[in-house]
Amino acid sequence: MKLEIYQVDAFSKHAFGGNPAAVVPLTEWLTDAQLQNIAAENNLSETAYFVPRGDGYELRWFTPDVEVDLCGHATLAAAWVLIHMLPGAPDVLRFATRSGELRVTRTGDELAMDFPAKRPVRCEPPSGLLSALGIEHAEVFATDDYIVLVDDEAQVAALTPDFARLKGLPKRGIAVTAKSTRFDFVSRWFGPNVGINEDPVTGSAHTSLAPFWAERLGTSQLSAEQGGKRRGQLRCELKGDRVIISGEAVLYLHGTIYL
């Protein structure tokens, strides 16, 4: 069996920026074991698979270790492949996922993803969280992830977490964020629980970060940058209980999988 595979750098205008995701178009689903093995072989933070269904697509995402409920950058990458590499893509892409229906619309060079918003609630940091991040004091909030609010963006850039100590905390991952002078906010995201020590750009984390910063900054439209050594840029717009997350993407690789 031969399968096409694309590697797309999402949330970047240029190769080697943003967050790389593999995209594998399918006509029918492979077994879960095959999907997981391909993702492990790719060894990227996410591999996305889609299958046409009616007027839309079923979409699933896998890290090298597990299937996940939501992934923003791999959704962006899958939409880019459908629009730019495969014929007949509709103007509005509809994806059936484990997080419900997701829609992606092309706006110029950007792709805009319509995701459910999640509003963080302040919480007590679990034992070991802040020390594993190398942070003495910070406010901590919770949704699917812990959100750790620090004083300035330099502190975010300088983080060197102890990933072994972060693994096993009772949330999907940890987003550390601060107000920025260049963007509205910056962040980094760490997810050893799902096999990703650091994800360069995490679209799904911005379903929480956008409402979090919209409330603090008093605006529904936000610019953001995420990452450490490798970084990507996003635009977020809060619309009620939805977040529109927009960004660009670029193709890095097109190849063939042999099974």
pLDDT in the model for residue 91:
83
pLDDT in the model for residue 245:
96
Delimiting residues of CATH 3.10.310.10 domain(s) in the chain: 2-116+245-258, 121-240
Alpha-carbon span 199 to 85, nearest angstrom: 25
Query: Is 139 a known active-site residue?
Result: no
* Residue whose token pair is 């419900």: 100
Alpha-carbon span 186 to 251, nearest angstrom: 25
| Low-confidence residues of the chain: pLDDT under 50 | none
Say whether pTM exceeds 0.85.
Answer: yes
Annotation: CATH topology of 121-240 = Diaminopimelate Epimerase; Chain A, domain 1 (3.10.310)
- With contact defined as beta carbons under 8 Å apart, do 209 and 175 qualify? yes
- With contact defined as beta carbons under 8 Å apart, do 19 and 80 qualify? no
**Which of 4, 28, 41, 46 is the catalytic position?**
46
pLDDT in the model for residue 107:
86
pLDDT in the model for residue 88:
84
pLDDT in the model for residue 195:
87
* pLDDT, tens digit (0-9, with 9 covering 90-100), for 53-80: 999 999 999 999 999 999 999 999 999 9
- What's the CATH number of domain 2-116+245-258, 3.10.310.10, 3.40.50.670, 3.30.300.10, 3.40.50.10170? 3.10.310.10
pLDDT in the model for residue 244:
96
Alpha-carbon span 146 to 126, nearest angstrom: 9
pLDDT in the model for residue 89:
85
Burial call 161-199: b when 16+ CB within 10 Å, e when fewer: beeeebeebebbbbbbbbbbeebbbbbbbbbbbbbbebb
pLDDT in the model for residue 161:
97
- With contact defined as beta carbons under 8 Å apart, do 257 and 35 qualify? no
> What DSSP letter does each residue of 56-92 carry, written as one string?
EEEEEEE-SS-EES--HHHHHHHHHHHHHTSTT--SE
Beta bridge partners of 47: 22, 62
